Structure formats: structure tokens, C-alpha cells
Amino acid sequence: MVRAAVLPAVGAPLEITEIDLPDPGPGQVRVRLAAAGVCHSDLSLSNGTMRVPVPAVLGHEGAGTVLAVGEGVAHLAPGDDVVLNWAPSCGSCHACSLGEVWLCANALNGAAEVYARTADGTDLHPGLNVAAFAEETVVAASCVLPLPDGVPLADAALLGCAVLTGYGAVHHSARVRAGETVAVFGVGGVGLATLQAARIAGASTIVAVDVSPEKEDLARAAGATDFVVASADTAREIRALTGKQGVDVAVECVGRASTIRAAWDSTRRGGRTTVVGIGGKDQQVTFNALEIFHWGRTLSGCVYGNSNPAQDLPVLAEHVRAGRLDLGALVTERIALEGIPAAFANMLAGKGGRALVVF
């Protein structure tokens, strides 16, 4: 029996309770969590913006230590430090055959499986495959990546979603080049990772945008050269900071129609706008046909940073070891399992960066 944060139904409060976690079966791994990040996607799953089979244990951004491996698992052993990968690629679907593993059609198949039970025998699903809001979890071996040396285990949890997403948005999706100008909309965990990634890429001007003026210090510490409080004049302010041209690249990390539109309007003619934020179906963004032609901008979605975790994790680890990437700077609160509901409330209120559950 281990303690976990259980979502009993969509829209219901999380329940901190004990669950019955089985030993790993063939092709599975049991991991003791060191830490798990509280991501906005977990909030979206809990409130129904994104669908998840319930009851479920949420949490998809985690790192820990292998306790046991099932039959057929050869690349991991008890005692190994690992990062959880919530979207493993199957290697055989059409997207995987194209090398676009972040779009794998079968990546979330495991979320529909029963992986544990409550004390009264109720079946539980692993939210986004890995169920990291628990002291321990049992996952498919494909959901586990060895942690490279030199990365603090608890902070390594952030590599599992926020950093892969933010870094990938800059380096894989928008492909920011040295000297280009960048605007980042939303200074939460992913936004802070995106700001650091833009700095690593050598962006000349990095504008952070957020509704909360209290986030300016966080943004500048992550690499922002300028900070703009979100308003109806955001695009105009960003153009004023870039010689009236607009930025080469805008990255939207919020998932709202208004901020997607503002990011588009802040991008120069011929620039790139990358949308990382996950919005609801009610968030409708409109463009007229003439402006699409006239501005010649590129608008693209970005799933999991368009990343290949197995390839990108060693690259990120090298940035950490070299001091270019500061994982701890993304964390504004270290909490216990009981603190997750408050962390959800802070996200809704636009407060703080990443909350990290530390076990």
C-alpha cells in the first residue's frame, strides 16, 4: 500500500489515500518517486478540459528510483535513478515511422489500463500513463528513461514535461536562431523553461508576458530581457521593444484564444508563432484571409515540445551540468501530496512557477 492523490471523478476534489500497487509484471517497472511536478495539464485533466479515465492517479512529470523490474526488462535495474516519460512512442504507427514520435498514435494507450486499486478494491487508472502523484508507481518500461549523471534527482522531475516542452518549443518547433527576438506568453513552469531555452539559443531580445506583475523577477532570472504585463496593448508594447517590427518568434504557453491572438499579433511579418498551451474547445481563435496572406506568419501547434525524450534528455542534462539550464529556478514551491489542490488553485490564479511534490 502506498499513498497517492486520487481523482475519483472529473471535477471532484483529489483524495489523498492509500492504494494497493501490485508488483511489476512482464515489461513493467516499479519506481519510488523522489518528486513530481504539478503541471497545468493535470489541472486540465481534473476539470475535464482534457479527458482521462477515472478514478485515476494523476501526475505525469516525475523522477525517482527503480525498486523492481518485471520479466523482460533488461535496460533497467533496481537502484537506477530515472525520469518518467508520460508519452512513450510505439515505434510503429504512421507518426513514428515519420520520426514524429511526439505525435505517436499509441502513446497514451496505457492510460486506459487498470494499474492499481483503492483499499476497497476500486480499479484505478494511471493518469497520462505514469501516475506520478504517488509515493510509488508501476509503469511500462517504455515510460522510464535512465537519468544522466550530474542532475539532482528531485529537480530531474521537471525534465519529464516542463523542460522538454519549453526547450523543444524553442529548439525543435520554432527553431530559434542566435540573435533572433522572442516573446514568451505565460510565465509558469513551461514558460520559465521556454525563457531559459531562448537564452540558451542565443536570442537577443527575450520578452516575457504575464498577467501578474509579480512574476517579473522570475522571468528576468530565467533570461527575459524585458517584461510586459498582459493587456489589450501587449502586441503594441512588444513591437515598440523590437523597432516596431514585432518579434521573430512568439511562444504561447497559456492556451487561451486571447493570448494566442496576442502572440500572433506580436510576431513580425514572416515570423513564427508556436502554441504550447492547451486550451479548451470553447477557445476559438479567428483570423481573416487577408491578414494570413499579408503577414506571411507561421502559426503552429507544439506537442510535448516536438521532442524525442530519449534523444533530448542527454542534451538537457549536459545543459544542466554546464550551468546553462537551472532546473531549481523553475520551482517556486515544494509541497507534499496534500498541497496539490492549493497548487491547482495557484495556477488558476496565475501565481508562481512550478510546484514540486517532494516525497
- pLDDT tens for the chain, residues 1 to 359: 999 999 999 999 999 999 999 999 999 999 999 999 999 999 999 998 888 899 999 999 999 999 999 999 999 999 999 999 999 999 999 999 999 999 999 999 999 999 999 999 999 999 999 999 999 999 999 999 999 999 999 999 999 999 999 999 999 999 999 999 999 999 999 999 999 999 999 999 999 999 999 999 999 999 999 999 999 999 999 999 999 999 999 999 999 999 999 999 999 999 999 999 998 889 999 999 999 999 999 999 999 999 999 999 999 999 999 999 999 999 999 999 999 999 999 998 989 999 999 99
In whole angstroms, give the CA distance from residue 134 to residue 94.
34
Q: What are phi and psi of 55, to 5 degrees?
A: -65, 150
pLDDT given for residue 50 in this prediction: 86
**What predicted TM-score, i.e. pTM, was given to this entire model?**
0.96
In whole angstroms, give the CA distance from residue 142 to residue 123.
23
Helix (H, G, I), strand (E, B) or coil at 111: helix
In whole angstroms, give the CA distance from residue 136 to residue 138.
7
Q: Whose CA is closest to 186, among 217, 218, 208, 164?
A: 208
pLDDT given for residue 195 in this prediction: 98
User: Measured between alpha carbons, how far is residue 174 from residues 177, 198, 203 in Å?
Assistant: 9, 10, 12
Q: Whose CA is closest to 358, among 329, 330, 338?
A: 338
Helix 234-241 and helix 257-266: axis angle, to 10°? 30
With 0-12 CB in 10 A as exposed, 13-18 as middle and 19+ as buried, what is 220?
A: middle
Total length of the chain = 359
pLDDT given for residue 286 in this prediction: 95
pLDDT given for residue 72 in this prediction: 97
In whole angstroms, give the CA distance from residue 143 to residue 13.
27
Helix (H, G, I), strand (E, B) or coil at 216: helix
pLDDT given for residue 327 in this prediction: 97
The shares of helix, strand and coil residues in the chain, as percent rounded to the nearest 5, are 35, 25, 40
pLDDT given for residue 122 in this prediction: 96
Q: Which three cell numbers stand for residue 120?
A: 476497497
